[in-house]
Structure 1
């Protein structure tokens, strides 16, 4: 998985899948607090902050202090960042579609069923129940 993620980063214009996941909510909303972005990408706030610093250096996001609460940092995509994210999402969707089409209809049904079951098991283990 790690090797596939690293290889896939080349297809994402130098962005990692984790960075793309962090940016995902910004495709439909602006001025999102760092904590909410971190939560949606399932990373810690310090990790999200480091990632956002890198993304800001690349001109993909802008960060600013909230006017209501200076402790909060709000994040938005730049124009270039929005264009890049749209392109990256499109490429990722195409890649996923090609991969999905490699399966027969029977395999697809089984794949969906197994992935749903895996999701249930992972979610159950996150809550501590067995």
Structure 2
């Protein structure tokens, strides 16, 4: 017996015991990741005109000041030249300040301006509020299961990346 349900990600089929195949899981995961990316991109561009890539680059500066460009690039998974170009744009918008390290003039340190910190905080708060509203659609038991499964999925994906 096959059960067909339509939701935001389309339809899926499951057997009487509720099992689905790998292709269905892949399609559902892909749809979820695309939706998350679109939501984050739209929110980032709405709040302060930041791109998703710029937000990824700035995220570590929310908790640490004066970070070297190389570390920011690494955390955002972009090359140092790409990070440098992005930071030049962000500096032009008054979001970051770049300065030479007093210990080593070859190193450039980056920190958020007060305006940049406020923009990033507003963006993060908006994203969290949207997520909280979305999670209200789930029962407490479903939310607990969702957290457990997302953690497991994260470990599985990270293990595959290491292989």
TM > 0.5: yes
Deviation by residue 1:79-100 (Cα, 9 ceiling, x = unmatched): 2112212211211211121122
Task: Report the TM-score, using the length of structure 2 for normalisation.
Answer: 0.70
Cα root mean square deviation, aligned: 1.8
1:94–1:5 Cα change, 3 Å: closer
Deviation by residue 1:56-81 (Cα, 9 ceiling, x = unmatched): 11110011111221221100111211
Higher percent of residues as helix = 1
Q: CA deviation at 1:5?
A: 4.0
1:119–1:85 Cα change, 3 Å: same
1:51 to 45, 66, 86: 86
User: The residue matched to 1:43 in structure 2 has which SS?
Assistant: coil
For 1:54 and 1:110, how far apart are their aligned partners in 2? 42
1:42–1:127 Cα change, 3 Å: same
Other-structure match for 2:54: 19
User: The residue matched to 1:59 in structure 2 has which SS?
Assistant: coil
| Structure 2 portions without partners, runs of 5+ | 1-33
Other-structure match for 2:98: 63
User: The residue matched to 1:75 in structure 2 has which SS?
Assistant: strand
User: The residue matched to 1:88 in structure 2 has which SS?
Assistant: helix
Q: Does 1:74 align with 2:113?
A: no
Other-structure match for 1:36: 71
User: Is contact 1:60-1:81 (8 Å) kept?
Assistant: yes
User: Is contact 1:5-1:16 (8 Å) kept?
Assistant: no
Higher percent of residues as strand = 2
| Structure 1 portions without partners, runs of 5+ | none
Q: Does 1:125 align with 2:160?
A: yes
In the alignment of these two chains, the number of paired residues is 128
Task: Report the TM-score, using the length of structure 1 for normalisation.
Answer: 0.85
